[in-house]
Structure 1
Amino acid sequence: MSTNKAIFTMKLEPELRDSFMAAAAAADRPASQVVRELMRDYIERQRQADEYREYLSHKVQRARAQRDAGDFATNADVEAQAAARRETLLKQAKEAGV
């Protein structure tokens, strides 16, 4: 990290500024340190949100490609497979005396 500092000026409602300064003082922390932490947290949340949007976009693209290629099961197919699996498991449980 660079040791250079930049000045950041922003407009705030006086009540918000006063409440923030009081909260920082109550926590015995410099307001500038708290603002830096808030900024870093915000940047990290945005990075994570961007990663998730990218992940989701790729997932949707893959699903659409599979759909377009006919590589999918209908709801009826899934239900039939589940029913067959239930029958098999119930038969095995009955044979095992469960």
Structure 2
Amino acid sequence: MTEATFTFRVDEALKNEFAAAAKARDRTGAQLLRDFMRDFVRQQQNSAEHDAWFRQRVQAGLDAAAAGDLVPNETVEAEAAEWRREIRRKLADSGS
């Protein structure tokens, strides 16, 4: 792993509070900042992957709709009504 130095400005009071908080956790500020950076990069990667997946699913839906592969409203409403009945039944059963 090639290492590089990352220098930035921060309010001195914040730096001191951060250093004290890091020390209280038996860590250095540098260790925590590296952890935070890794977590941030991982979150961004996960977000990008989810966004790509979501866009793919939306496009698949648009393609299906354009091809006429649609579910009639009556079918959707009937399935939703059945789902609501089942949820109400489960709630009633759990309340007994």
TM-score by length of 2: 0.75
Distance across 2 between alignment mates of 1:75 and 1:18: 61
Distance across 1 between alignment mates of 2:56 and 2:41: 23
Q: Deviations over 1:37-89 (max 9, x none)?
A: 11101110000000000000000000000111110112223335x4xx8xxxx
2:6 match: 8
1:30 match: 28
Q: Does 1:46 align with 2:44?
A: yes
| Range 71-80 or range 6-15, more displaced | 71-80
1:76 match: 74
2:88 match: none
Q: Specify the structure having the higher radius of gyration (Cα).
A: 1
- Give ranges in structure 1 of 5+ residues lacking alignment: 86-98
Distance across 1 between alignment mates of 2:16 and 2:36: 17
Identical positions, percent: 34
AA at the equivalent of 2:7: T
| Range 53-62 or range 17-26, more displaced | 17-26
